[in-house]
Amino acid sequence: MDLNIVIEDSGKRDSKEEILDKLRTALKLNYKSIAFSVRINDTQLANPPKAPKIEWKQASNFELRTRVTIVLEDASKIHKLSNSPILKEYDLLAIEVINDKILSQLCGGHLDCDIISFSLSERLTFNLKKTNFTVPQTKGTCFEVNYRQLLLDSTSRQNVITVSQSLFARLRGRNVLLSSGALSAIELRGPHDVANLGLLLELEDSKARAAVFTNGLKAIKHSEMRKTITSEAVKVENESTSSDKWLLEELNIKCESNKESECEPEKKRIKTEDDS
């Protein structure tokens, strides 16, 4: 699966034909599950773009999802993530880490997302070796490296290799995602070729294959769980009476102090539009 095929970056969305070209290429390369990603920066959080609705003739064994990737730099804007009804329309929520403050929020359990993505074409401004990834790993959050960055100039390629090896060693190869981050169809590679790239990044063979074929299911399950918890919390708040507000507030306090607790989400069928 490829959970990061970019169709919009910083306000510029692909044409319908460009999007369909990426879709056809993914099918031709034998992908069974992909996500079309809308990449925004934190200045767009006040008015984020709506999730794309792709019209296509659905294949029975193919899953298409939507994803929003937020390049988050300002920690003071974190509250806008949970308050935006538009962001909730997306199937997957990813945060691209820019600085150590955002990474600390994510790894401390104060900020939740399905995928933590790293842009590695330039040197990171923080030290991965001092980061504890236990909390997000336990929740099922995945950590993503995009192989498109390996297709850039030699300096970027070497930096991606070096930092990826350090990151994967710290993660012990668990919950790793190898995605394309493709901006054009020509940048897509077949899943088996991508798994081989994982070996270049010093992933064991089994973990390299998991990073392409199965780990994405963890991010999908995490998304379903995150949305279920949110919807149930809203339901409880709406149904509570003034006499039991104190109990709701007490429960909220306890939930905040126990960020690592999980519940089993209801099964959710992903809907795609069918023009047949």
Q: What structural domains does the chain harbor? A: 2-222 (3.20.20.140), 224-274 (no CATH)
Say if pTM beats, i.e. exceeds, 0.85. Answer: no
pLDDT by 10s per residue, the chain, length 276: 999 999 999 899 999 999 999 999 999 999 999 999 999 998 999 899 999 987 777 667 899 999 999 999 888 888 788 778 899 999 999 999 988 899 998 998 888 899 999 988 777 778 887 889 999 999 999 999 999 988 888 888 888 999 899 999 999 999 999 999 999 999 999 999 999 999 999 999 999 999 999 999 999 999 999 888 655 544 444 454 444 444 445 555 444 545 444 444 444 444 444 444
Give the per-residue pLDDT at 273. Answer: 46
Rounded CA gap, 35 and 49, in Å? Answer: 16
pLDDT value at residue 252: 55
Structural contact between residues 261 and 42, judged by C-beta atoms closer than 8 angstroms: no
**Six-digit token string for 30:** 């034998």
Structure tokens, 132: 């504890």
Give, for 178, the enclosing helix (H) or strand (E): strand 176-179
How far CA 109 is from CA of 77, 183, 184, 216, 259, in Å, comes to: 16, 31, 34, 20, 6
Query: 2 CB contacts (<8 Å, ≥6 apart)?
Result: 26, 31, 33, 34, 35, 179, 180, 182, 188, 191, 194
Residue whose C-alpha is closest to residue 63's, from 1, 141, 144: 1
Distance, CA of 209 to CA of 72 (rounded, Å): 29
Residue 84: its pLDDT value, please? Answer: 85
